[in-house]
Amino acid sequence: MRYFALLLVLCFSLSSRAQILNVESLRKVTDSSGFSGTASLRFALKRNTREFFTIASNIHVQYKMNRNLILFKNDVAFQQIEGDQFENSLITHIRYNYGLHKRIKWELFLQGQNNKVTLIDFRGLIGTGPRFKLSTSENYRFYLGTLVMFEYEDLADGITPIQRDFRGSAYFSFSLYPLETLSISSTTYYQPQFSELNDYRISSQSSMLISVFKKISFLVHYTFTFDAFPAVGIPNSQYEFTTGFAYSFD
């Protein structure tokens, strides 16, 4: 079953919809060393200026050893716009955490993405900063991150020049485990451009996992994004609601 789930994800890995990747949404919480992760398959119906149907997959693999954590995420999608042909999109993200304290980690990340629907030819990010654990409960976890990142962005609208900017990326995240069979996570990002503070992005993303079998869960995911200066012809705000299944492995 494990290999079937991974194969299913890889079959869809030719292409993500959200402009800001939620690294927290399927972060595997574990205190043990070694490999662990999650694979999910989701379906979505979205509308901004037009109607979209999306088939998406996410694979997240992480390796933990002592104070070190390496996390890899690949978020991919096929998207169909009002009955037209499917368009592909992709976000690939790798992140390194080093534990400075049991409640403080230092993060370093790299990310690359493209999205034909939102006219992002390529967006590359590199960033670093601290991540703080605000709670001591294992069932109710709250985090705050404050990072600085460099962004290279090439839009396909034929008007906007290539952007090379420094941005902040502050986020507040929580993970709740009220029952053994239920987990809820949510993250809100705020990403302003340092040289022009009215150029900012906001993303609020929430997920709920309900255990169906030992390692398989039903997934509900909601995303809202706002970009003060998107590509020409793309609306400032977008939303997405997806449902599907997630498979956890360790």
**16 located within any domain:** yes
> From the CB of residue 148, how many other CB atoms can be counted at a distance below 10 Å?
13
> Does 116 fall in a domain?
yes
Between 28 and 100, name the one with better pLDDT. 100
- Is residue 32 a part of any domain in this protein? no
What is the Cβ-side half-sphere exposure of residue 60, based on CA atoms within 13 angstroms? 20
pLDDT at 148: 98
Each residue's pLDDT tens digit, 218-243: 999 888 999 999 999 999 998 888 88
* CATH number of the domain enclosing 117: 2.40.160.40
Range of the domain at 179: 2-23+39-249
Whole-number Å distance between alpha carbons of 78 and 225: 19
* Cα-to-chain-centroid distance, residue 32: 23
pLDDT tens-digit series, residues 44-72? 766 666 677 778 888 889 999 999 999 99
Is residue 145 domain-resident? yes
Q: Is the pLDDT of residue 86 over 70?
A: no
Domain count within the chain: 1
Q: Is residue 28 situated within a structural domain?
A: no
Q: Determine the Cα–Cα distance for residues 156 and 160; give it in Å rounded to an integer.
A: 8
Query: How many CA within 13 A on the CB side of residue 149?
Result: 26
With respect to residue 31, please indicate whether it lies within any of the assigned structural domains.
no
Is the pLDDT higher at 29 or at 195? 195
Q: What are the pLDDT digits (tens) for 112-152?
A: 999 887 899 999 999 999 999 999 998 999 999 999 999 99
pLDDT of res. 89: 81
Q: How many residues does the chain have?
A: 250
Question: pLDDT over 70 for what percent of the chain?
Answer: 82
